[in-house]
Amino acid sequence: MRTAERRHDLDALRAVAMLLGIGLHASMSYFPVPWAVQDAQRNDWFGLFFLLVHGFRMPLFFIVSGYFTMMMFRRRGLVAVVKQRTVRILLPCMLGLVTIIPLTGFVVRRAIRPVARPQKELDKTTLVGAIRARDAAAIDRLIGRAEQVNRPDDEFGVSPLNWAVMLGDPALVERLVENGADVNSSNRDGNRPMHAAAFMGRDDLVELLLKHQADSKAENRAKETPVRAASVDWGTTQYVTALLDIPLPERAKVEAGRLRVRRLLGEVSSTGSQSVPEPRVAVAAAPAGPTSAREMYQSWLRSNRWNLAIGAGTWHVFYTDVFSHLWFLSFLCWMVAGFAGMTFLARQSIRRTPDAPPVRDAALLRFGPPSDSALRIALCLIPLTLLPQWLMGTSPLQFGPDTSSGLLPQPHLLFYYGLFFAFGSLLFEMELFDRTIGSRWWAYLGLGLFAAFPAWRYSIGNHAVGAIAQVVYAWAVSIGLIGLFKRFMSRPSRTVRYVSDSSYWLYLAHLPLVIELQSLTRDWPLNAIAKFIGINVASVTILLISYHCLVRPTWIGVLLNGRRARRSAEEPAAPQFS
């Protein structure tokens, strides 16, 4: 049995993965993406930064988590793994749900509050400006002009008809159509009036648009239909309406309207099952094409059969945001439970074998010679990742894995991250692979950054090719970084050890602070890069001070990192939360 020495390289890699999460959230104010704070300064390079990091960060984290879980299992046994993960993962997750998550929600609600727009910002010489300003006289003057009726605004690229639909004005919608507005006019992002009506839960406007031959199956640039727009999470809904300065009705009203829209468009019946209802309006609807397995799965996952009635509202067990940025802790709990279940079944199987000698936990789950069986199993995990990746592609970013912060993890995402977790567990067993993985780290990184990512970029619109490129990217960059850190960060370092210990707290507590700093600096006339650097430096500094003074010497530090024993940096230590 191999010795379980401390892995200083993986300690450092885990810390970097956590800190990159702070950088990702800090960057989201500076490029077009659903986020609570939209800064006055923009820089599209942050979008590239986000995609490159998002594509590998969490898969890499779960590889490291699986490695340390197997390390502890070999050293201390299953009972110790379950106890330690309960204290380091489950308890912080539960505490975060009643502290950090509510605080984040409070900060987000403050941040997305619409900012008063000076009237001079709305150009009432255009039909869009008149509609946004709710200026009836200007609308009457401009609505009959052919050059105005389909002209989008310069700021958001939204057509007049889309604005009228978003504002929920049926009379204005009817007037625009009568004056030549295209019911299938596309915004800059490809969304049509049907998308807008479905998004706002306006089933009356959906019927009105259908009456005027609107395409109920139209796709935007992200290949999303109006039915998908009627299933957007509430956080994104708040963000979009605040960004466009559109009044948002009560959540219950919007959700009820969206359900009626989905029924009207044939996604679900009144009982939540798949159905194609009788047309409620006499229109020549476009023929429905064959539904792919991916679309059927997503429709099943988003259907109202998974709704829970809680108080006056309804929670979707997969899509209502519960864990926010702490979702990875809930995933780790499920994976540790699965690991424990497999170990228990292996133990029971051995006990049922006649004349089997007693077997300790350290001998369970052996896969044969480390360079043979374990390596073959690990290599099988990589192509398996393509299946859950193929089911993704529903997030606005469209690169890297989707997110799942609901009460229950989305099954395909749990399977996806579980494969990386399993690979990390096997990585501990693969002594030969572990010895050689650092030798070609540059080739793995080159494959991911200069082959897989460009292949995805140029395959937008081809979901199958894009899924393959994303899988290759996630695995290649993750393995490359493991090799890079093994090559250059294997020596013990007290600084790296301290940063690794603190990174857990920094990530848990960073989000409300980052959003508050983004909100405070939103209108500062500074370069976006300068703001980004300042927010990162300020948030990490504040959090490090809080860790050193309020967390590390207290019971919170014991909960997150265990008791600090007096030992040299070279001595083995119990793996931490991951």
pLDDT above 50: residue 369 = no
Average of pLDDT values for 405-410?
A: 93
Banded model confidence at residue 504, pLDDT cuts 50, 70, 90: very high
| Helix (H/G/I), strand (E/B), else coil: 361 | helix
Q: What band does 285 get if pLDDT is binned at 50, 70 and 90?
A: very low
Bridge partner list, 316: 307
pLDDT at residue 365, as a whole number: 53
Percent of the chain with pLDDT over 70: 81
* Interatomic CA distance for residues 531 and 370, integer angstroms: 49
For the residues 381-391, what does the mean pLDDT come to? Answer: 90
Give the pLDDT confidence score for residue 340 in this predicted structure.
Answer: 92
pLDDT digits (tens, 9 = 90+) for 154-199: 777 888 999 999 898 899 999 999 988 898 888 877 889 999 899 9
Q: What is the pLDDT of residue 287?
A: 37
Mean pLDDT, residues 521-544: 95
Tell me the β-bridge partners of 314: 309
pLDDT of residue 122: 61
Rounded mean pLDDT of 329-356? Answer: 82
pLDDT at site 371:
44
More confident position, 312 or 326:
326
What's 404's DSSP letter? -
How high is the pLDDT of residue 553?
93
Beta-ladder partners of 167: none
pLDDT above 60: residue 118: no
Query: Could you tell me which residues come within 8 angstroms of residue 26 by beta carbon, excluding any fewer than 6 positions away?
Result: 514, 518, 532, 535, 536, 539
Q: What are phi and psi for residue 144, nearest 5 degrees?
A: -85, 0
Long-range CB contact pairs, 26-32, < 8 A, 24+: 26/514, 26/518, 26/532, 26/535, 26/536, 26/539, 27/532, 29/518, 29/522, 29/531, 30/528, 30/531, 30/532
Selected residue with higher pLDDT from 287 and 513: 513
What average pLDDT does range 390-397 have in this prediction?
A: 66
Name the most confidently modeled range: 81-95, 207-221, 235-249, 338-352.
81-95
What is the biggest distance separating any 2 CA atoms in the chain, rounded to whole angstroms? 94
C-alpha pair distances (Å), 530 with each of 26, 461, 508, 517, 543? 12, 35, 25, 13, 20
- pLDDT attached to residue 284: 34
Whether 222 shows a pLDDT value over 70: the answer reads no
- Domains present along the chain, CATH in parentheses: 8-112+323-561 (no CATH), 119-244 (1.25.40.20)
Single out the residue of 491, 502, 468, 516 nearest to residue 569, CA to CA.
491
Between residues 368 and 317, the one the model is more confident about:
317
Amino acid (one-letter) located at 462:
N
Q: Of 292, 291, 470, 274, which is closest to residue 388 (Cα–Cα)?
A: 470
Can you tell me which residue has the tokens 């029924």?
A: 263
What whole-number distance in Å separates Cα of residue 205 and Cα of residue 360? 66
Mean pLDDT calculated for residue range 503-516: 96
Instruction: Please determine, for residue 204, whether its predicted confidence score (pLDDT) is greater than 50.
Output: yes
Q: Which has the higher per-residue pLDDT, 389 or 270?
A: 389
The predicted pLDDT at position 41 comes to 87
- Going by C-alpha positions, the residue among 559, 34, 25 that lies closest to residue 329 is 559
Torsion of CA 228, 231, 234, 235, to 10 degrees: -30
| Chain CA centroid to CA 52, Å | 14
**Mean pLDDT of the region 364-385:** 64
Closest CA to 243 of 175, 166, 146, 164: 166
Query: What does pLDDT average to over the chain?
Result: 82
Label residue 279 by pLDDT band (50, 70, 90): very low
Query: Within 10 Å of residue 146's Cβ, how many Cβ atoms?
Result: 9
Q: Is the pLDDT of residue 577 over 60?
A: no
Side-chain half-sphere exposure of 348, counting CA atoms within 13 A: 6
Mean pLDDT, rounded, for 331-349: 88
Per-residue confidence band for 569, with pLDDT thresholds at 50, 70 and 90: very low
- Distance between CA atoms of residues 498 and 578, nearest Å: 16
Taking the C-alpha atoms of residue 169 and residue 159, their distance in angstroms, rounded to an integer, is 14
Residue bearing the bigger pLDDT, 109 or 479: 479
Q: Return the higher-pLDDT residue of 323 and 232.
A: 323
CA–CA separation, 350 and 357 (whole Å):
9
Residue 135 has a pLDDT of 84
